[in-house]
Amino acid sequence: MTAEYVAAIDIGTQSTRAALVDGNGSITDVAASPLDLYAPRPGWAEQDPRQWWDTTVANLATVVRRNPQARIEAVGVGAQMHSLVACDVSGAQVTDRAAIWSDKRSLEQVTEFLRRPDAEDLSMLAGNRPLPAWAGFKMAWLRSQLPAAYEAADCLLVAKDYVNLRLCGVLATDPSEASGSFLCDAATCTWSPDLMAALGVERSKLPDIADSATVIGTVGPDVARQTGLASGTPVVAGAGDMLCQLLATGITTPGRAGLVAGTASIMAAAAPVASSDMRVMNLRSASGGWVWFGISDAAGQAFRWWLDLLQPGETAPADRAAVDFDAATCLAAGVEPGSGGLLFFPYLLGERTLGSAEARGSFVGAGLGHHRPHFIRAVMEGITFEDRRALECVCPDGAEGAVRCTGGGAGSALWNQMRADIFGHPVQTMALTEGGILGAAILAAVGAGWHRDAIAAAEQMVRPAQVFSPSPDAAARYQEAYRRFCLVHDALTPVWNQWSDGARQ
């Protein structure tokens, strides 16, 4: 019996995935492949785009082969944001690796931009503070440091748009990625001549912008042969993974707030316009509005890093991840809120806007009375304290309803209760925590003609689940611990600004 599905592709930092999703938002099957991450220098983070594509093809072929009854009506891609893939029009790379979202190598280009007398006006035009994360500054770095590669590139793409090019042969981006480039006029969602001139990027190297749920092309014959997808299957423009995840939590109404607890930790709120607060970052949403957000680049990654340090071994980290996580959170559950005064600052990849890009991860307040469980809980609390700092920026008047939580870190009841206690605000999980997959599927469902737009599709396909309410006693303890966290953070910030030479040896 034939059943109708959409195919959702998720390009993360640690893995790629492909899934079949039905019209109710249920995942029928999913295949995943691990990814390699390279850090050739402090502050650099790279991946090989060919691995994104090769694993995506393998993932799609797996789910199609395992589900011969499936009729796939459309394909949607969500991917890690702000990467830079310089390639020719056929999709062939002109550099071996891509600088990804957490890469900070373009800090010099940002510093140079800030010296301009019109830097503030241009930042308001872009709707964002200049940061090394934005793809436009990575393009400026490429032009400055690898001019031959820059000149050889016919197009400058991000991960999602590179995968879409390989899928359907069309050069396109979407508003979420365009608004995160620092090259796009925030008011009109068009490429800005002034911003392109300031960063030295030619319009001819940038793709056109299409709405996230718009069909941009169809699966080509070669891809059909490799994956089992039908040639001619519609492909939508898609969106950045963060916007897919927020769409999958129903963050479509102004005032609603959501937390994406993944490799990075992202606190965001839906809004009708871009925020003028330069501490807050702005991106066009996958459903047509805006999101205000703050991000901790190495949140879930910091937790994984700490567990790997505690339990080194020959077993592949991916194989022992679930066991380690469950065992670690059980240990942390036996420690009182506040971890006995031990604080962790999760800045393994620096900070974006609420501190210094030169910041590093650190434990403060350790004593002989602290043991492994204290350190595990302190890491969880430090990540969540940082989330609260972002929440206070994106929701200065408080969130409307519970903070909706998705991502891999949303599966821990202990951590969700900790979030509610630290935020002093209810936290709600989702029935499906695979937000990147579901968000991409929602966009594909519009492309398949199942729904009129992404908001309507989200209302049909998103299902909230459990609510965690703050415990008065724990919330009171955390209020003091959070105050101390902020004090130490502010005291360390000027130190980190002088630390860079030592950190980069």
- How far apart, in Å, are the Cα atoms of 467 and each of 349, 400, 405, 410, 413? 31, 14, 10, 12, 10
Write 367-373 long-range contacts (CB < 8 A, 24+). 367/340, 367/341, 367/342, 369/340, 370/339, 370/340, 370/342, 372/310, 372/331, 373/331, 373/332, 373/334, 373/335
Residue-range definition of the domain harbouring residue 360: 297-401+474-503
Residue 379 lies in a domain: yes
pLDDT for 334: 96
pLDDT of residue 322: 47
Instruction: Let me know if residue 15 belongs to a domain.
Output: yes
Give the whole-angstrom CA distance, residue 215 versus residue 234: 6
Q: Are residues 371 and 310 in the same domain?
A: yes
Q: Are residues 101 and 236 in the same domain?
A: yes
What pLDDT is attached to residue 395? 93
Report pTM.
Answer: 0.87
Q: How far is residue 131's CA from residue 104's CA, in Å, rounded to a whole number?
A: 9
Q: Which of 249, 284, 312 is the last residue of a domain?
A: 249
Specify if 71 maps to a domain: yes
Task: Give pLDDT, residue 500.
Answer: 60
- 49 and 192 fall within a common domain: yes
340 and 193 in a common domain: no
Q: Looking at the domain assignment, is residue 288 inside a domain? A: no
107 shares a domain with 49 = yes
Asked whether residue 113 falls in the same domain as residue 212, the answer is yes
Domain total of the chain: 2
Query: d(Cα 75, Cα 229) in Å, to the nearest integer?
Result: 9
- Reported as half-sphere exposure (CB side, CA atoms, 13 A), residue 135 has a value of 29
- Asked if residue 317 and residue 224 are part of one domain, the reply reads no
Among 249, 279, 307, the domain boundary falls at 249
Closest CA to 257 of 425, 439, 80: 425
Whether 356 is covered by a domain: the verdict is yes
pLDDT at 209: 98
> Is position 68 within any domain?
yes
- Counting every residue written for the chain, the total comes to 505
CATH code of the domain covering residue 325: 3.30.420.40
Q: What is the pLDDT along the chain (505 residues), one digit of tens a residue?
A: 568 999 999 999 989 999 999 999 999 999 999 999 999 998 899 999 999 999 999 999 999 999 999 999 999 999 999 999 999 888 899 999 999 998 999 999 999 999 999 999 999 999 999 999 999 999 999 999 999 999 999 999 999 999 999 999 999 999 999 999 999 999 999 999 999 999 999 999 999 999 999 999 999 999 999 999 999 999 999 999 999 999 999 999 898 999 999 888 999 999 999 998 888 999 999 999 999 999 998 898 899 899 888 876 544 444 444 448 888 999 999 999 999 999 999 999 888 888 888 899 999 999 999 999 999 999 999 999 999 999 999 999 889 999 999 988 898 999 999 999 999 999 999 998 888 999 999 999 999 999 999 999 999 999 999 999 999 999 999 999 999 999 999 999 999 988 865 444 3
Q: Count the neighbouring beta carbons within 10 Å of the beta carbon of residue 334.
A: 10
